[in-house]
Amino acid sequence: MQPSLIAKFKNPERSNWQGHLSSEAYLVLEDGTVFKGKGFGSEGIKYGEVVFTTGMVGYPESLTDPSYKGQILTMTYPLIGNYGVPSKEIKENGVPIHYESDKIQVEGFVISKLMKSNHWASKKSLDEWFKEEGISGIEGIDTRALVKKIREKGVMMGALVVGDYELDEIMEKVKKLSYDEMNFIDKVTPKEIIVHEPENSNKSIVVVDCGIKYGILRELLKRGFKVIRIPYHYDPIDVLEEFNADGILFSNGPGNPALLKELIKKAQEVIEYNIPTMGICLGSQILSLADGGEIYKLKYGHRGINKPVKDLKSGKAFVTTQNHGYAVKAQSLNEFKVWMINIDDKSVEGIYHPNKPIIATQFHPEASPGPLDSTWIFDVFSKMVKGEAHGF
């Protein structure tokens, strides 16, 4: 928008169509494609794997989801920012309810249209939040065109450029980067043990925190568990014994699980130890790898809140939240059995150990964002931890 035009209005910042900004912005993809749009948030260059999610609500949750570390997130839904940025002070058991961690985790944010917000719980606009946290966003691009490109070519590395930079150099760098070979967990795992204790807690869970979503914490705390979050390189069994805890949870997290050799070894020990254990997303992949299973990379991942899953044990089917780029090969599992599958592409969505109290899901039973139709999986885990159910 030309400055002369903005000057025509008394209150230019109050507008959707010519407000926020703004400098020119570019999304540069490793295949040479460049999308031009308008920047918001902070200026700068951010690199990451360009992925998309099809959820139509829950952008604050997605933005703060540590699993998106190392990724530039595209929203397929075109209007973003509608309800602003909810207050972090709205909490449940001490955990903010609209956040999945305490900051924005994505490397960059790609949307079609940034909206002027209105909501009682909102404290600021998306643009303000991005500026505060030094994150860049791009709007005004045809996100559907981008999604179709990713759908056809698979996920790609890319750079989000807000401001006046030399694109050729950036493109060169993008081509050299590989998401699959980078470790992002170090950026999201806690530095030391963090303990959350709800009122009237009885049992405790050790969480191997590879970048846990607050949603998982909220589900555990809601069920009366004391939660002991440990850095992912700690030994969970040591902590379990030290705290006299009752179960272990391998959390979600970013990146390629095959790189996490030490963690896989610890997971083998946990399986051996035979204690109620749950894995979510990355955690499920870690348990599979510990079982001698193999993982593979999906062409463009499963990211959305409308993903159909079928429970092969009960025959029930339901809609889940998913955010993963890798999946487990069903035939490669040894002791573990397939519990659930994705109805559309038949990929593994849940595994269980036939003789031990161990379950894991590829999808996110805590949802957040997404439908609450699979939170019952925490009830299953809870029963195992409380000794009301043995194995599965």
Partner 1 sequence: MVSKVLVLGSGAIKIGEAAEFDYSGSQALKALKEEGIETILINPNVATIQTSHEMADKVYLLPLDIKFVEEVIKKEKPDGILLGFGGQSALSLGVALHDSGILEKYNIKVLGTPIEGIKKALDREKFRETMIKNNLPIPPSKAAKSVEEALKVAQEIRFPVMVRVSFNLGGRGSFVAWNEEEFKGYIVRAFAQSEIGEVLVEKYLKGWKEIEFEVVRDKDGNAVAVACLENFDPMGVHTGDSIVVAPSQTLTNREYQLLRSAAIEVAEAIDLIGECNVQLALDPKSEEFYIIETNPRMSRSSALASKVTGYPLAYIAAKLALGYTLDELLNGVTGVTTALFEPSLDYVVVKMPRWDLEKFENAKRKINTEMKSIGEVMAIGRNLHEAFQKAIRMVGIGDELIGKYYESEESLEKVMERIKNYEPYMPMHIAKALKLGASVDEIHEITGIDKFYLYIIEDLVKIAEALRNPDEETIREAKKLGFSEEQIKGLSKDSIKESIPFVKQIDTLAGEVPARTNYLYMTYDAQENDIPYIEKPKVLILGAGVFRIGVSVEFDWAVVNFANAAKKRGYEVIVLNYNPETVSTDWDINDKLYFEEITLERVLDVYNFENPDGVIAFAGGQLANSLAKKLEQKGVKLLGTRGTSVDIAENRAKFSKLLEKLNIKQPPWIEAKSIGEVLAFADEVGYPLMIRPSYVLSGTAMKVAYNEKELKEYLSLATKVSQEHPVVVSKFLDAMEAEIDAVSDGKRVVGVTLEHIEKAGVHSGDATMVTPYRYLKEKHVKKMHKIALELALALGIRGPFNIQFLVNDDVYVLELNLRTSRSMPFSSKSRGVNLMELSAQAVFDGKLSLGSDYKYYEIPAKAFAVKSPQFSWSQLQNAYPFLGPEMRSTGEVASLGFEFEDALLKSWLSVKPNKMPRSNILVYGYDKDVPTLLETVKFLESLGYNVFTLEDSLSYGNALSKEKAVELMKLGKIDLVITSGYAKEKDYFIRRTAVDLNVPIVLDANLGYELSKAFAWAKKNCFEVKELSEYYGPKLQRVVSEPLEELV
Mention every residue, 6+ apart, whose C-beta is less than 8 A from residue 280: 216, 249, 250, 251, 252, 360, 361, 364, 365, 366
Q: Which is nearer to partner 1, 117 or 268 (CB)?
A: 117
Point out the catalytic residue in the list 49, 107, 219, 366.
Answer: 366
Give whichever of 204 and 342 is closer to partner 1, judged by the CB atom.
342
Extract the tokens encoding 204.
């405790």
Instruction: Check 281, 324, 349, 353 and give the catalytic one.
Output: 281
Q: State the minimum distance, in angstroms, from the CB of residue 288 to partner 1.
A: 24
Helix boundaries (H) for the chain: 3-6, 59-63, 126-133, 143-153, 167-176, 185-188, 214-222, 236-243, 261-273, 282-290, 376-385
Shortest separation between residue 209's beta carbon and partner 1, angstroms: 23
Phi, psi for residue 223 in degrees, rounded to 5: -90, 15
CA 306 to chain centre: 15
Q: Hunting for tokens 């450029």 — which residue is that?
A: 161
What's the farthest any 2 CA atoms get from each other in the chain?
A: 72
Residue 39 CB, nearest distance to partner 1 (Å)? 16
**Residue 278 is inside which H or E element, if any?**
strand 277-280
Spatial separation of the C-alpha atoms in residues 267 and 276, rounded to whole Å: 13
Q: Of 8 and 191, which has the nearer Cβ to partner 1? A: 8
* Residues of this chain that bind partner 1 (CB under 8 A): 1-2, 4-5, 8-9, 14-18, 35, 52, 54-58, 60-61, 76-79, 82-83, 86, 97-98, 112-113, 115-121, 141-145, 147-148, 151, 300, 304-308, 310, 315-319, 343-344, 367-373
Closer residue to partner 1 in complex, CB, 85/267:
85
Supply the minimum distance, in Å, between the C-beta of residue 221 and partner 1: 16
Is 281 annotated in the active site?
Answer: yes
Angle between the N-to-C axes of helices 282-290 and 261-273, in degrees from 0 to 180, rounded to the nearest 10: 70
State which H helix or E strand residue 49 sits in. strand 44-53
Judged by CB, which is closer to partner 1: 60, or 357?
60
Catalytic hit among 20, 98, 324, 364: 364
Q: Which two tokens stand for residue 90?
A: 């709205």
Rounded to a whole number of angstroms, the minimum distance from the CB of residue 192 to partner 1 is 30
Bridge pairing between strands 113-114 and 79-80: parallel
Known active-site residue 364? yes
In the complex, what is the shortest distance from the CB of residue 127 to partner 1, in angstroms, rounded to a whole number? Answer: 14
Does residue 390 have an active-site annotation? no
Between 211 and 370, CB nearer to partner 1: 370
The stretches of 278-355 forming alpha helices (DSSP H) are: 282-290
Q: Write down the number of H helices and E strands in the chain.
A: 11, 23
CB of 367 to partner 1, least distance (A): 7
Cis ω for the linkage preceding 101 (within 30 of 0) = no
Report the catalytic residues.
281, 364, 366
